Amino acid sequence: MQAQGLGFSLVDQTKLVTAASEIARNTVLYGGGGIVEIEVLENAPRRGVRLTFEDHGPGIGDLAQAMRDGYTTGSGLGLGLGGAKRLVSEFEIRSQPGTGTWVRLARWI
């Protein structure tokens, strides 16, 4: 089912897609690729979409630093993880050096 079919407004769709795009980009660039699981959430009266990304890359040594605006290990602006978190209703990240990174985000309407 599409987010639009769940009743997501264009703004809600854009926020979800933007956050998902940033995390997917990180999964590919820094994690060497990985998987994403997409779930439709229907907890009456709320509906939403949850995405869980997982890679087996080098991991993130300092999550607090990585979440700060302006921090980057690449050539970007350093707004990725923090920006993604601000665009969704729920955001959770787990990572350890050498074990990869797991990110779950959800957007509710």
Residue reference for tokens 């990110």: 103
Residue reference for tokens 């957007």: 107
Domains assigned to the chain: 4-102 (3.30.565.10)
**Average per-residue pLDDT in the chain?**
90
**Given this model, what pLDDT does residue 77 score?**
47
Q: What is the pLDDT of residues 24-71, one digit of tens each?
A: 999 999 999 999 999 999 987 889 999 999 999 999 988 888 888 776
**Mean pLDDT (whole number) for 74-80:** 58
> Of 19, 31, 20, whose CA–CA distance to 59 is shortest?
31
CA distance 65 to 35: 24
Q: What is the pLDDT of residues 23-35, one digit of tens each?
A: 999 999 999 999 9
